[in-house]
């Protein structure tokens, strides 16, 4: 009987923790019961009573706030202060930038799926849709990416078109002469244009991302907005933003670009201003810019502003034609011909009111940059990545059906099915994350952590997708020329990986490093209590934290044992099961994240491999969540079920592998062993998507396919032109129409009725023998010629070849 009571007590104890019924009180009671039941079976009644009383007293101690604060919380506060690292102003500003949204749910261990599904993303307005269907389509038809490579930049006609239709003013409100587009519209424009020309997309991305317009909108004076925003929207002023320098790349706050407050002469008048010196590089649009957004460290050694000598990072708008500015040289980023180059400034004097926000903006530059980056990083590069991924999906789905080897389309070979499934399912997931993150921005969020995730993980996933697509295309992918559909985008991949915070930095230092502080329900409050030496507040938060930790431990264990099946979720069938899996993994992640921060403290900043793997887990949790949200919002269509399942299974496996890697390398091996039991009580259970499922996804993408159309609906697909993609699309339609005739000929070959070797000879033999009618002969001949045309690659005369560029 005591043994039965013991195990009942264990179950009751974890059930109470799982249900969150107050950790401090219930742990005391639970321990009393467990110890009493265990002792009753092995000791005397006196011992039973003694242990029960002792543990009851411990429970009362925890419940008595004044005793707890004096004898326990004060010591915990002292210990915690020693564990946490000192945080400078720039690091604190970066940590506090932006808002917390669904990432907070994932850190909680109990994501509220009903809240996510109730969130309604903003749809494109009629005006935004008309712009996509009108000027954006026109721009894509106007652009010839191969010619841009040969001319080393977009033509004057393209520049005029961009200015005329206010492509540079998408984020500028209509009241200032811009288009006033939403984040999802801005993203849709970039995705479509980038599928046609990376150089053109990059040219229009920068004025609408982190730069003068964004900073002016949120921090500029009204006079600054009235002057600059209409000129930026019309293209009268071309902006660039100069942040990166030789000494300040990922560590942008380490800039050695300086400004000194001084009196001087500007346009014939004596004014209070700033004398600037800087060296900047990698600045997009710098060679053609007329106005420079400049980040620098401002000094006031003579106290002319009446404050400290070191005023901090400051941002200003500088006319590019001022004396002392050296601008116009060009970098050559991977041969992709968008304007990019260095800028140098020596003893450049500007009035103080050139600072964004005027004198009130002095020293606020780092805050401006971090808050703006939380939004801008959500849009441009994720959209460009989705454009590349959708193009890869469209091309490989068609090429796998058009290109034949060994007598059948290459897409029917399992070796090609495997990358095809990856391309399609990951594209589905990427677009889901793009749309969801833009929806958060349109909903008023500044999702700092989620924006870092979509920037880093969508650009990285793009790299893998395009690599797979290049493999499927084979020789046609590596021969440069106007018919190479993927080559230009492939060359540009490292640019997206590197800019707006390199992916290595973002993964290893930002996603989890910032997320652990911002998204954890208690950690930031604990840090604030420590900074203020507020014992009462610390006592309250630390025990809420302990309750949270205990609850997640129990939840992780229960969900691990049951495979998440006890979780109530707003869905049924395969969809509901995916929700249960991600709830279980969120709980496991939250527990491991909590223990990682508690045990490593400030040393976690230096444990970048651990931090990077935790970032992987969080990122794939978010990507999986976005996939489920997309499927739900679409009405859970049967057409998308298999691609959704593949994407979710891949995400679950990636989360599991990241958590396992953390546990394998966790410094405290005893803690790691305990965590492994709680997180994986039955061992690792998640596997990559099966070959069978991958085959189903791949076959659904081949040829003229509704799924292929649905997954590639955001890109430009040329129809009436002589280009590689247009020719491939036309050939696919022609071959599909002739498929019944081709089947007749294949069957005749198998039966020995047709003995010719080449396809052209087989067609003529079938016609001559009466196997196919004249109209069928015309269709299959047209299909044969279209297939042959679609698989051709470019070749150049020697005199042309030696002058090729890009």
Strand 291-299, strand 258-266: pairing: parallel
Selecting among 128, 371, 500, 729, the annotated active-site residue is 500
Asked if 381 contacts 499 with a C-beta cutoff of 8 angstroms, the reply is yes
- Which residues contact residue 794 at a Cβ distance below 8 angstroms, ignoring those fewer than 6 apart? 479, 480, 481, 482, 483, 484
Composition of the chain by helix, strand, coil, percent to 5: 65, 10, 25
Q: How many CB atoms lie within 10 A of CB 10?
A: 15
Q: Hey, which bits of 454-539 come out as E strands? A: none
Residue 322 DSSP one-character state: S
Asked if 456 contacts 506 with a C-beta cutoff of 8 angstroms, the reply is yes
**CA-to-CA distance for 725 and 390, rounded, in angstroms?**
13
Q: How many CB atoms lie within 10 A of CB 681?
A: 14
**CA-to-CA distance for 435 and 716, rounded, in angstroms?**
18
Q: How many CB atoms lie within 10 A of CB 710?
A: 14
Residue 273 DSSP one-character state: E
Asked if 220 contacts 415 with a C-beta cutoff of 8 angstroms, the reply is no
- Which residues contact residue 218 at a Cβ distance below 8 angstroms, ignoring those fewer than 6 apart? 368, 371, 372
Query: Cα-Cα-Cα-Cα dihedral of 246, 250, 253, 255, to 10°?
Result: 0
How wide is the angle at C-alpha 114 spanned by C-alphas 112 and 118, nearest 5°? 125
How wide is the angle at C-alpha 701 spanned by C-alphas 700 and 703, nearest 5°? 105
Asked if 486 contacts 468 with a C-beta cutoff of 8 angstroms, the reply is no
**CA-to-CA distance for 477 and 139, rounded, in angstroms?**
25
- Which residues contact residue 192 at a Cβ distance below 8 angstroms, ignoring those fewer than 6 apart? 132, 136, 137, 140, 387, 714, 715, 716
**CA-to-CA distance for 385 and 493, rounded, in angstroms?**
9
Q: Which is nearest to 655 in space by CA: 585, 732, 564?
A: 585
Q: What does each C-alpha distance from 706 to 239, 416, 639, 700 come to in angstroms?
A: 42, 20, 8, 8
* Residues forming beta bridges with residue 295, ordered by sequence position: 315
- Distance from the first to the final alpha carbon of the chain: 81
**CA-to-CA distance for 344 and 429, rounded, in angstroms?**
42
Known active-site residue 263: no
SS3 of 572-613: CHHHHHHHHHHHHHHHHHHHHHHHHHHHHHHHHHHCHHHHHH
Structure-block tokens of residue 337: 């011909």
Q: How many CB atoms lie within 10 A of CB 607?
A: 18
Render the burial of 724-756: b for 16+ CB within 10 Å, e for the rest.
bbbbbbbbbebbeebeebbebbeebbeeeebee
How wide is the angle at C-alpha 503 spanned by C-alphas 498 and 505, nearest 5°? 110
Does residue 175 sit in helix, strand or coil? helix
- Which residues contact residue 225 at a Cβ distance below 8 angstroms, ignoring those fewer than 6 apart? 176, 216, 217
Asked if 189 contacts 169 with a C-beta cutoff of 8 angstroms, the reply is no
Q: Give the catalytic positions in this structure.
A: 500
């Amino acid at each position: 009987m005591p043994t039965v009571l013991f195990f009942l007590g264990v179950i009751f104890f974890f059930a109470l923790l799982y249900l969150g019924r107050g950790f401090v009180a219930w742990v005391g009671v639970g321990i009393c019961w467990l110890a009493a039941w265990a002792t009753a079976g092995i000791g005397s009644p006196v011992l039973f009573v003694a242990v029960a009383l002792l543990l009851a007293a411990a429970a009362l101690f925890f419940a008595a706030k004044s005793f707890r604060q004096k004898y326990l919380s004060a010591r915990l506060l002292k210990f915690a202060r020693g564990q946490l690292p000192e945080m400078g102003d720039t690091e604190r500003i970066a940590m506090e930038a932006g808002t917390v949204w669904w990432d907070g749910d994932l850190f909680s261990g109990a994501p509220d799926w009903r809240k996510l599904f109730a969130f309604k993303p903003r749809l494109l307005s009629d005006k935004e849709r008309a712009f996509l269907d009108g000027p954006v389509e026109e721009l894509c038809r106007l652009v010839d990416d191969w010619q841009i490579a040969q001319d080393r930049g977009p033509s004057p006609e393209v520049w005029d078109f961009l200015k005329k239709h206010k492509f540079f003013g998408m984020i500028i409100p209509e009241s200032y002469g811009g288009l006033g587009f939403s984040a999802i519209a801005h993203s849709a424009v970039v995705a479509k244009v980038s599928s046609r020309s990376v150089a053109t997309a990059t040219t229009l991305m920068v004025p609408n991302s982190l730069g003068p317009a964004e900073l002016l909108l949120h921090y500029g004076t009204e006079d600054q907005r009235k002057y600059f925003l209409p000129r930026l929207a019309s293209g009268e002023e071309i902006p660039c933003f100069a942040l990166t320098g030789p000494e300040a790349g990922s560590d942008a706050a380490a800039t050695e670009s300086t400004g000194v407050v001084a009196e001087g002469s500007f346009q014939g008048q004596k004014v209070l201003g700033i004398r600037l010196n800087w060296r900047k590089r990698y600045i997009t649009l710098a060679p053609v810019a007329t106005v420079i957004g400049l980040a620098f460290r401002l000094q006031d050694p003579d106290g002319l502003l009446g404050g400290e000598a070191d005023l901090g990072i400051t941002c200003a708008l500088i006319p590019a034609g001022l004396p002392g500015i050296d601008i116009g040289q060009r970098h050559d980023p991977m041969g992709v011909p968008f304007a990019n180059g260095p800028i140098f400034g020596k003893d450049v004097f500007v009035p103080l009111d050139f600072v964004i926000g005027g004198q009130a903006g002095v020293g606020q530059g780092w805050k401006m940059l971090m808050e703006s980056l939380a939004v801008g990083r959500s849009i441009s590069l994720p959209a460009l990545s989705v454009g590349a991924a959708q193009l890869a999906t469209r091309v490989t789905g068609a090429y796998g059906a058009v290109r034949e080897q060994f007598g059948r389309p290459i897409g029917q070979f399992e070796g090609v099915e495997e990358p095809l499934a990856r391309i399609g399912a990951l594209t589905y997931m990427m677009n889901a994350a793009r749309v969801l993150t833009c929806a958060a921005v349109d909903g008023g969020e500044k999702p700092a952590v989620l924006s870092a995730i979509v920037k880093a993980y969508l650009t990285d996933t793009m790299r893998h997708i395009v690599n797979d697509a290049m493999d499927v295309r084979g020789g046609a992918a590596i021969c440069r020329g106007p018919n190479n559909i993927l080559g230009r985008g492939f060359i540009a991949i490292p640019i997206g990986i590197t800019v707006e915070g390199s992916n290595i930095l973002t993964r290893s230092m930002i996603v989890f490093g910032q997320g652990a502080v911002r998204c954890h329900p208690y950690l930031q409050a604990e840090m604030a209590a420590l900074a203020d030496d507020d014992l009462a507040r610390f006592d309250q938060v630390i025990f809420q934290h302990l309750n949270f930790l205990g609850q997640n431990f129990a939840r992780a264990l229960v969900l691990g044992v049951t495979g998440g099946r006890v979780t109530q979720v707003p869905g049924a069938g395969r969809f509901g099961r995916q929700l249960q899996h991600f709830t279980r993994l969120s709980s496991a992640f939250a527990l491991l994240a909590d223990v990682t921060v508690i045990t490593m403290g400030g040393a976690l900043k230096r444990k970048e491999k651990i931090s990077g793997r935790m970032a992987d887990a969080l990122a794939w949790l978010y990507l999986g969540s976005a996939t489920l949200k997309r499927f739900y919002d679409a009405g859970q269509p049967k057409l998308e079920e298999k691609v959704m399942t593949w994407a979710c299974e891949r995400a679950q496996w990636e989360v599991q592998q990241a958590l396992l890697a953390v546990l394998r390398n966790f410094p405290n091996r005893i803690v790691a062993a305990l965590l492994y039991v709680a997180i994986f009580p039955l061992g690792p259970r998640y596997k990559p998507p099966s070959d069978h499922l991958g085959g189903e996804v791949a076959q659904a993408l081949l040829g003229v396919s509704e799924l292929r159309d649905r997954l590639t609906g955001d890109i430009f697909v040329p129809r009436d032109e002589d280009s590689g993609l247009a020719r491939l699309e036309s050939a696919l339609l022609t071959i599909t129409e002739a498929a019944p005739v081709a089947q007749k000929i294949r069957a005749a070959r198998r039966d020995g009725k047709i003995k010719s070797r080449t396809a052209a000879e087989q067609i003529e033999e079938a016609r001559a023998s009466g196997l196919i009618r004249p109209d069928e002969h015309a269709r299959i001949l047209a299909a044969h010629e279209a297939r042959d045309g679609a698989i051709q690659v470019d070749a150049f005369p020697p005199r042309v070849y030696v002058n090729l560029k890009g």
